[in-house]
Structure 1
Amino acid sequence: MKTEAGPYDFLPVAGTFSRGTVTLDVTNTLRQAIVTLALAPGAMLDKTAICTQLGVSRFPVSEALARLADEGLVDIAPQRGSTVSLVKIADVREYMLIRKGLESEALRVLIGKHDAGIIAALHANMAAQRDAASRDDAETFHQIDVAFHDTIFRTMRLSKVKAIIDKARANLDRARRLIITPRRLALTIAEHQAIFDGILAADAPRAIAAIRAHIDAVMVELFAFAGEHPELFADGAEFTPDKDDFPFG
């Protein structure tokens, strides 16, 4: 994780972007850097240095930062410049509550349909999780983890709800990456396997209990991490894990 404003050598080099999509490409590039923690929470953003690294004018960078500010990933302060926003525990809590409810219902739909294609996709996903963990490839594992949950969720075919969730996912993904360790990878695999075992057994209550326990376990670790590193969180100073009201269970 880089905490300094520059250099930005982890960003694409000058000349990478197509002329007609520069603003979109810059936005996507900076979003990816923020979500993957290459640009850490609280990091100052040197617009001039970013322009130099990407080989673009100030306009697409300014526009990209404005778009990312709308997404809650960048804070723009007049006369003070821009910074990567701190993660908000309150936002993560709400998103995880949405996930608990929607993924519980998605599992109910999936098990009722007995969709062989989705079962095969989940089998392949579990194998890919174990492979990534064996190589200690946290970034690849994170992407496979997201795909596991997306595979379950797509059984509901609720495109509008998914679009809302995807828009809110960036801050959750940042929070989850903060707690990725070899131990968390192993626990996640075990938790996912418990969910999958419930699916294979066509036991909806078992699968639902497993997915809720998985989300709760992630939240417990995130709350503990926030208590130890409040400087990375916008509401870290007020946050007290022992008094949190996240509805576990």
Structure 2
Amino acid sequence: MNSHPQHARPANSKHLRINHKAKRGSASAQLHESLRDRIIQLQLAPGQYLSRNEIAAEYGVSQTPVRDALIKLEEEGLIDTFPQSKTEVSRIDVEHALETQFLRLSIELEITRNLAQAADPARISNTRSILAQQSAAMTTGDLDAFSRLDRSFHLSLYEAAGVANLHTVIDARSGHIDRLRNLNLPDPGKLASIFSCHTRILQAIETGNVKDAASVVREHLSGTLAKVDDIRKRHPNFF
């Protein structure tokens, strides 16, 4: 696959082989997960050409799991396939990101309302642990770890509210907004802003303050989209 070294972070080679003993479905799922992660992390940049033959060789698999993985990525809007022509990583779709943010905001407002009304610290003990890990990642400047813990933080709230399956629904359509977040993440003050929002969300839940919880969730989920114009100016080829 052709690379864009000025934008793409190098892939971790330990992820580049699929378990040869895995069943077809499992191999396809592993490949989909790996390629999706590389797209979200911008290791595979928007507009980058994807060769099925090169993917198969890189991961040590046949064409079948490659085809299955690419079909799923296309369904998620993360790749564009042009029949008899080419396959490439999709450009970032801001309208799609706005729709996903609307859906996610609606769900997470209800989740935090539910948890704040319960005001049960035990239900968010795992979330507290994740927040501590995120603090450490922020201190060391580990953007990859911070980003993954950001996802874990929100997933833990879905789990605490007993609606973990809804996170899967959101996750499946979050490719565009997640790429925007990863472009925004290195900006000065962004990590501190995210960590502050996470801290205040937990404080509001623990103290049973439904109003404050809703206010911080709105602030938190609108942060990246408020910077879209600036992000687009810095990365025009990604849109």
Smaller-chain TM-score range? 0.7 to 0.9
Amino acid corresponding to residue 214 of structure 1 in structure 2: H
Contact 1:2 1:39 in 2 (8 A): no
For residues 33-52 of structure 1, what are the structure 2 equivalents within 5 Å?
33-52=38-57
Gaps of 5+ in 1: 234-249
Does 1:153 pair with 2:147?
no
**Matched letter for residue 98 of structure 2:** R
Identity %: 27
Match of 1:135 in 2: 140
Select the residue among 46, 70, 73 that pairs with 2:78: 73
Quote the Cα distance in structure 1 between the aligned partners of 2:133 and 2:212: 23
Structure 1, 36-45 or 11-20: larger mean CA deviation: 11-20
189 and 97 in structure 1: CA distance in 2 versus 1, 3 angstrom threshold? same
Q: CA shift at 1:68, angstroms?
A: 1.3
**Partner Cα separation in structure 2 for residue 13 and residue 163 of structure 1:** 24
Match of 1:25 in 2: 30
* Correspondence 1:93 to 2:106: no
Deviations 1:95-121 (A, max 9, x none): 111222221111111011122323322
* 1:238 matched residue in structure 2: none
Structure 1 partner of 2:218: 212
Residue among 44, 53, 56 paired with 2:61: 56
Question: Partners of 1:60 and 1:204 in 2: how far apart?
Answer: 46
CA contact (8 A) 1:36 1:174 kept: yes
Residues 189-231 of structure 1: CA distance to partner in whole angstroms, max 9, x if unpaired? 1122222222233211011111111122222123421244232
Q: TM-score if structure 1 supplies the norm length?
A: 0.82
- CA deviations on 1:167-202 (whole Å, 9 max, x unpaired) are 212332222111111521111111222222222332
Q: Is the alpha carbon distance of 1:58 and 1:223 closer, same or farther for their aligned partners in structure 2, counting shifts above 3 Å?
A: same
The yes-or-no answer on 1:189 pairing with 2:192 is no
Amino acid in the other structure paired with 1:49 = E
Question: How far did 1:157 drift?
Answer: 2.6
**Distance apart, 1:93 and its partner CA:** 0.6
Q: What is the CA distance between 1:160 and its match in structure 2? A: 5.4
CA distance in 2, matches of 1:4, 1:227: 15
Give the whole-Å Cα distance in 1 for the aligned partners of 2:80 and 2:14: 20
Secondary structure of the structure 1 residue equivalent to 2:81: strand
User: Structure 1 residues 159 and 135, CA, compared in 2 at 3 Å: closer, same or farther?
Assistant: closer
Q: Which residue of 2 aligns with 1:240?
A: none
Match of 1:246 in 2: none
Instruction: Tell me the CA shift for residue 145 of structure 1.
Output: 1.0
Paired residue total: 232
1:113 to 112, 118, 133: 118
Query: Which of 169, 172, 191 in structure 2 is aligned with 1:167?
Result: 172
Instruction: Give the AA of the match of 1:152.
Output: L
